Amino acid sequence: MISHIINSLLLAIGLGVDSFSISLVNGISYPDSSKKDQLKESFIFGICQSVMPFAGYILLVYFSNKLTILKTVSPYVSLILLSYLGIKLIMESFKTSDIEKSNIKLTTGTLIIQGIATSIDAVSCSFSMINLSMFEAIIEIVIIGIITVLLSYIALNLGKEIGRKVEKYSQIIGGIILILIGMILFIKR
């Protein structure tokens, strides 16, 4: 059981890195976000990172032939979603004044899209869960969610500090980074 928890922690950290990266970008791009907004984002990312491997686990247990399709499509989905969000962020930076920028917040819909884009590849880690009981799989999924929430929250705060230093260009920098993350996720698969 202890080795299972250690493996789950390591897996959670590995999966949480994508959410950490996006949260860092969001902190840079939106340095004036409130603690409430930071918690909302962290929990959305944690839920997405938990739901995807659980969905993959269910697919493997009940419909094993369907998972390969998702694994094939996920790099394209991540690239398209993150590129779209990056381009949108860059375009917003040119359309709004500095005063308007300070009032812009990430919508729940945008956060969910980011969460899906960064966690869709987590479905493939369900292959490592196939020999687990339902109870062990749930423990692993909860650990993944908790670690992702913590990593996202830390990254948001780091990003806010950086964002305050490069405030004038923060949305452009954030948009470029989102596009690059999408490309990296696409290339590494």
Nearest Cα neighbor of 140 from 95, 30, 132 is 132
Residue 100 pLDDT level (bands cut at 50, 70, 90): low
Q: Residues 129, 131, 134, CA angle at the centre, nearest 5°?
A: 70
The amino acid that residue 58 corresponds to is I
Choice among 53-67, 142-156, 161-175 with the minimum mean pLDDT: 53-67
Contact 46, 146 (CB under 8 A): yes
Mean pLDDT (whole number) for 78-106 = 74
Q: Between the ranges 13-22, 34-43, 130-139, 156-165, where is the mean pLDDT highest?
A: 34-43
Kindly tell me the sign of the dihedral angle through the C-alpha atoms of 50, 65, 124, 28: negative
This prediction's pTM: 0.79
Does position 130 have pLDDT exceeding 80, yes or no? no
Measured CA to CA, the distance from residue 141 to residue 77 in angstroms comes to 22
- Angle formed by the axes of helices 108-119 and 170-187, to 10°? 30
Measured CA to CA, the distance from residue 142 to residue 75 in angstroms comes to 25
